[in-house]
Chain A
Amino acid sequence: MNVNVTINGAETSADIEPRTLLVDFIRTDAGLTGTHIGCDTTSCGACTVLLDGVPVKSCTLFAVQANGRSVQTVEGLKQDGSLHPIQAAFKDSHGLQCGFCTPGMMMVGKALLEENASPSDDDVRWAISGNLCRCTGYMNIVKAIQQAGAMLAES
């Protein structure tokens, strides 16, 4: 069936099978491979995107369910050639090593900061508890999200 999803502000239309997962629609039909497939079993959060602003696991949603709706992926963070504060803070605080979980972590971090501009360590850890990182030990991810909060408050 034909679906039309606004991804990072641009409309992407495709004729797809209803069983097409949103993550594959994003990666294959829209060609945006920043959204990663990790566990593929709703456990790891690597595939996290914002659906109408709300973070969801795009491996556990059919693309048809996003028909007519708005999706934001990691590629949509950058604006006018500059990194979004969440990206700049992950870079500056060394919030990543291999980078596999990073797109999901940043999308969750962005959504958290829109609700809570100055989250505590516990607030951040709670918010990212659906996202697994196997290299950093989370310390610098927490720092990066808090740093992004401070950067957003300044700007």
Chain B
Amino acid sequence: MYPSAFDYHAPTSLDEALSLLAEHGEDARVLAGGQSLIPMMKLRLAAPAVLVDINDIEGLDTIEEVNGHIHVGALVRHNDIVRSDVISAHNHTMAAAAPWIADPLVRNRGTVCGSIAHVDPEGDWNSVMLAVDAEVIAVSSAGERVIPIDDFIVDFFTNSLQPGEMVKAVLIPKYSGPSGGTYLKMERKIGDYATAAVATHVELGADGTIAKAGIALTAVNNKNTRATAAEAALVGNAPSPELFAEAGELAAAAAQPEDNVRGPADYKRDLVRVFTRRGLAKAIELAS
């Protein structure tokens, strides 16, 4: 299968990439890992006239601790997260999700930021980013801006980038107190999209109650969805099995899945309920 023809550019500096994006606007797409974009182009679901390949730009492939955040650059591959000491030391939710992204070969190429920008409701990273309150650094020839992940995810395959903008990095908060997190995913086989998945993140206060909670759902709505009622039910309370069960019910109520080849809607809602309950119990264990 062949994509439509396109003009290919492989700039070696970010400035050069941004001027190409400014020049071509909505006709241009950024090529990072290409593990979603190239299959879509081959199926002719996408037909960009111009590809700006950012793989030759130095400095975009780092995972760094910067000003109380973990900075994940646009060329950080899924497997870089799997192997990162910074991530395993600081962010349970990301560390749990990374090995379950696609398959090992796709993880060698595909990027975290590319997956975030793709906004596929069946993609895993945006649920993780919602749960951990990430921010996206968008850059264009006019400068940089920081977009909270809730504002970045607009709708089905739709982000809030403007023409000429690209994702330069994602910023993950670094937690000072005890924190824990999980990513529980049901998939029919390695490499398939999630039937359903749930990301959790908790931070504990000095008194042992839950100071902050993040819960987000994959593949059960038209976009990755924050389970706000479940989060609110947790905050300020002492962790308990009853509380996790209540959060599970509330998270399931935030899921509006469809029947499809991966399973009936009721089954997916039940996955959300159980994954939320189990995920929170494990997240608290990791935080304690």
* Residues of A that sit less than 8 Å from B by CB: 1, 17-19, 21, 40-43, 45, 48, 54-57, 60-62, 64-65, 67, 108, 126-127, 129-131
Contact = CB atoms under 8 A, between A and B. Distances in A.
B102 to A, nearest CB: 8
Given A57-B105, A61-B34, A130 B191 contact: yes
Contacts of B8: 1, 18, 62, 64
Interface in B12-68: 31, 34-35, 38-39, 41-43, 51, 53, 55
Please indicate which of the listed interface residues A54, A62, A108 has the most CB atoms of chain B within 10 Å of its own CB: A62
Given A17-B5, A65-B53, A129-B191, A40 B42 contact: yes
A45 B104 CA distance: 10
A56 B109 contact: yes
Interface of B: 1-8, 10, 31, 34-35, 38-39, 41-43, 51, 53, 55, 102-106, 108-109, 190-191
Contacts of A54: 108
In the A-B complex, list the 5 residue pairs whose CB atoms are closest, starting with the nearest. A130-B103, A18-B8, A130-B105, A129-B190, A130-B104
Contact of B109 (A18, A61, A108): A61
B7 A18 contact: yes
B4 A19 contact: yes
A127 B104 CA distance: 6
22 contacts: A1-B8, A18-B51, A19-B2, A19-B3, A19-B6, A19-B41, A21-B2, A41-B43, A42-B39, A55-B104, A57-B106, A60-B35, A60-B109, A64-B8, A65-B31, A65-B55, A108-B104, A127-B104, A130-B104, A130-B105, A130-B106, A131-B105
Given A57-B109, A65-B55, 13 more contacts: A40-B42, A41-B39, A42-B39, A42-B106, A55-B104, A57-B105, A61-B38, A62-B8, A62-B34, A127-B104, A129-B103, A129-B191, A130-B104
A35 B41 CA distance: 22
Contacts of A61: 34, 38, 109
